[in-house]
């Protein structure tokens, strides 16, 4: 566990020092996979369902990257919603 905190500190320090490329290089694919969900709507819904079964998430939070249009945000939420 301590290693994860040290890595997080390294990422934060690089980012705060405006060393964006260095910060990005520290982040591994495994970190990204453990922190977020990605893929086609059906695959992401399956991942959300799996998290719900683990009882570790009270409410999912959908975050769109900067610059994404409002219509794309709306389509994303609709595609991931319970009525999709």
Predicted TM-score of the model (pTM): 0.57
Residuewise pLDDT in 10s, the chain (84 residues): 556 668 989 999 999 999 999 999 999 888 887 778 888 999 999 988 888 888 777 877 888 888 999 999 999 989 988 887
Q: What is the number of structural domains in the chain?
A: 2
Is there a single domain that holds both residue 54 and residue 68? yes
Domain hosting residue 84, numbered range: 39-84
Report d(CA 80, CA 78) in Å as an integer.
Answer: 5
Is there a single domain that holds both residue 30 and residue 65? no
| DSSP secondary structure, 46-66, as one string | HHHHHHHHHT--SS----PPT
Alpha helices in the chain (DSSP H): 2-16, 20-26, 29-35, 41-54, 70-80
Q: Are 26 and 10 in contact (CB under 8 A)?
A: yes
Place of tokens 């970190």: 31
């Amino acid at each position: 566990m301590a290693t994860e905190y040290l890595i997080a500190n390294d990422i934060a320090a690089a980012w705060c020092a405006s060393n964006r490329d260095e910060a990005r290089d520290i982040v591994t694919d495994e970190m990204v996979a453990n922190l977020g969900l990605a893929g086609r709507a059906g695959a992401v819904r399956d991942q959300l369902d799996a998290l719900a079964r683990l009882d570790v998430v009270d409410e999912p939070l959908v975050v769109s990257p900067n610059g994404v249009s409002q219509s794309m945000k709306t389509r994303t939420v609709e595609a991931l919603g319970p009525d999709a």
